[in-house]
């Protein structure tokens, strides 16, 4: 399994996954042209897609969906709530034979790849993350969630790699020029994980298989890579974990990360 975060943040989100001959993306909040351009930076060409997995209906996750579906004619997976929450200009242009609803209790199996939807907690109709598993290795993708309950830890435990939200530093957020209503939305249980909350979550679910953690959806105004990484260093140290035992990197809004392999 190989993967690359192409874009992450409020300006658009998209992650590329390659499993043997199959090609998937999680979310498509950037244009097809941007996707192709960012893949080409890593000497990759997207000639086909086997599936698109949508986390929720907000524009920074679905803005490029229809042109991508029109080109590749692949399956698009999402919860029924996400589908109902889509803007009509997107919903009305999804070919129904390409649409497949995902259920939290069921697994999608596609040529040896097992995908499970993970419940997330965000101000959308039925948001989710995803866990991809192939040949005993797994990737967990979880962003846009205000918190994550202990009762759900098992669903994301001991993955080989995590792409996890680390959205904001609370002090930077509170001191920003954003409106108080927006600040409350972000801090809410259906908002976004702070750096410290993200680090505590990872400290409680990572396991002996865990090697790499990508911090995603960093706010350009209310966070920095140094704030996010320092929060992980502090929390891991307090929890008795050795920070340097893991590869921890920050996803970017305007450039792709390197292609990683599990």
pLDDT in tens, 5-62: 999 999 999 999 999 999 999 999 999 999 999 999 999 999 999 999 999 999 999 9
Name the DSSP letter for residue 86.
S
State pTM to two decimals.
Answer: 0.96
The total number of structural domains that make up the chain: 1
| 132 in a structural domain | yes
CB atoms within 10 A of CB 220: 12
Mean pLDDT of all residues in 200-220: 98
**CATH of residue 148:** 3.60.15.10
Does residue 262 sit within a domain?
no
Instruction: Kindly state whether residue 258 falls inside one of the protein's structural domains.
Output: no
Dihedral sign for Cα 134, 165, 184, 253, please.
negative
Integer-rounded Cα radius of gyration of the chain = 17
Residue 182 domain-assigned (yes or no): yes
Residue 197 is predicted with a pLDDT of 97
Structural domain including 116 reads 2-253
89 belongs to a structural domain = yes
Residue 42 within any structural domain of the chain: yes
Angstrom distances, CA of residue 244 to CA of 213, 233, 241, 248, 251: 12, 9, 9, 8, 18
- Tell me if 179 is assigned to some domain: yes
Of 79, 148, 61, 62, which is closest to residue 116 (Cα–Cα)? 79
| Residue 259, domain member (yes or no) | no
């Amino acid at each position: 399994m190989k993967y690359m975060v192409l874009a992450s943040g409020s300006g658009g989100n998209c992650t590329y996954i390659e499993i043997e001959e199959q090609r998937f993306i999680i979310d498509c909040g950037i244009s097809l042209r941007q996707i192709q351009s960012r893949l080409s930076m890593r000497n990759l060409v997207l000639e086909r897609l086997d599936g698109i997995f949508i986390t929720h209906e907000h524009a920074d996750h679905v803005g490029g969906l229809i042109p991508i579906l029109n080109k590749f004619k692949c399956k698009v997976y999402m919860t029924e709530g996400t589908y109902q929450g889509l803007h009509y200009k997107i919903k009305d242009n999804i070919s129904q034979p390409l649409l497949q609803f995902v259920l939290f209790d069921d697994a999608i199996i596609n040529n040896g790849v097992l995908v499970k939807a993970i419940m997330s907690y965000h101000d959308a109709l039925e948001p989710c993350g995803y866990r991809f598993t192939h040949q005993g290795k797994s990737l967990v993708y979880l962003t846009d969630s205000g918190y994550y309950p202990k009762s759900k830890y098992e669903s994301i435990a001991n993955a080989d790699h995590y792409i996890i939200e680390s959205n904001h530093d609370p002090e930077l957020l509170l001191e920003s020029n954003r409106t108080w209503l927006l600040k409350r939305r972000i801090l809410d249980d259906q908002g976004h994980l702070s750096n410290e909350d993200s680090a505590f979550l990872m400290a409680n679910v990572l396991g002996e298989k865990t090697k790499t953690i990508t911090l995603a959806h960093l706010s350009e105004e209310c966070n920095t890579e140094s704030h996010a990484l320092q929060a992980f260093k502090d929390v891991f140290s307090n929890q008795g974990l050795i920070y340097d035992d893991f590869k921890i990197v920050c996803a970017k809004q305007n450039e792709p990360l390197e292609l990683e392999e599990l």
